[in-house]
Amino acid sequence: MSDKPKVFVTREIPAAGLEKVIAACDADVWPEHLPPSRDILLQRIAGCEGVLSLLTEKVDAEFMDAAGTQLKVISNFAVGFNNVDIDEATRRGIRVGNTPDVLTDATADMAFALLISASRRIVESQDYIRAGKWRTWEPLGHIGVDLIERTVGIVGMGRIGFAMAKRCHGGFGMKVLYHDKYRNEKAEQELGARQVDIDTLLKESDFVSVHTDLNETTKGMFNAAAFSKMKNTAVFINSARGPIHNQRDLHDALKNGEIFAAGLDVTDPEPIPMHDPLLTLRNCVIAPHIASATVSSRNGMAEIAADNLIAGLKGEPLRCWVNRE
């Protein structure tokens, strides 16, 4: 029997982190493409001192009970941690880590890629070609919306919101509005951003991009009422978490022309079911939650997640510690 601490790693992650975990721990690494079922997860976590989890795993009281009282650390391989019951972990003295910063630029790049794809109808145009419909150059065809000097509304002006605003302002001269419970003086000074109430943001923005975390306040905040306040030329971008938009309401707003287009890196649920009516709309660009999928982001996430796990096992401060207080 190994004298190293027993941990469960719920999926293979890049070697930059996995090798550290394997060297320091008695690691059980889930080898499959799909996540373990709930039953298997609860079995495999039993007796572990640490877990390296993904956003696909629900880490709640039941999970912590199944692990046992020796569980010291939950290292989540994501910046978001809505899949982890932080209050419950804190009550039990379990440290929780996440992987911020290393994915900020990659995520903002993805949000901007979705913005330009949805605005300029890129995916729809490709489908048009592949369907054999491209017969000639069309003066009235494929008309999208302009980007230059328009207004972007950032919902959640944290690290990623700021990085998105910087791309919009610096590259395209956009005016920046933002909605957040905190003031972001850096965004105000460097980008001329203006903090506004949500209704003003919805009413005045040409592009609305979501960068907030998922919590009880933001869940379903983009619903029929919100979409009806947006311009009918507006483009909605969500690269944060799917449940922040109401998917049925988004479908209806896109179909009825209440907004022009949407670009999503996240859906509710994930994966999006093949029968979801959103998949029938040409004005909705959807990616399978890939914003952090670049070499340096994923390597950086793997390293931080490994460091968080190992520090937590030793009772040391985590590099990125969610429940430090």
Catalytic choice (167, 289, 298, 319): 289
Shortest Cβ distance from residue 79 to ligand GLV (Å)? 4
Does the annotation mark 167 as catalytic? no
Identity of the amino acid at 66: A
Cβ neighbours around 2 below 10 Å, total: 8
φ and ψ at 108, to 5 degrees? -65, -35
Q: Which is nearer to ligand GLV, 212 or 247 (CB)?
A: 212
Nearer to ligand GLV, 6 or 319 (CB): 319
Applying CB under 6 A, the residues found at the interface with ligand GLV are: 55, 78-80, 103, 292
In the residue annotation, 33 being an active-site residue is answered as: no
Q: Report CA-CA distances (Å) from 311 to 16, 34, 97, 261, 316.
A: 16, 28, 10, 45, 5
* 19 catalytic per annotation: no
Of the pair 208, 214, the CB lying nearest ligand GLV is at 214
| Token pair listed for 280 | 């029938």
Closer Cβ to ligand GLV, 193 or 291, answer by number? 291
Q: Which one of the listed residues 241, 245, 298, 319 is annotated catalytic?
A: 241
Q: Which residues are catalytic?
A: 241, 270, 289
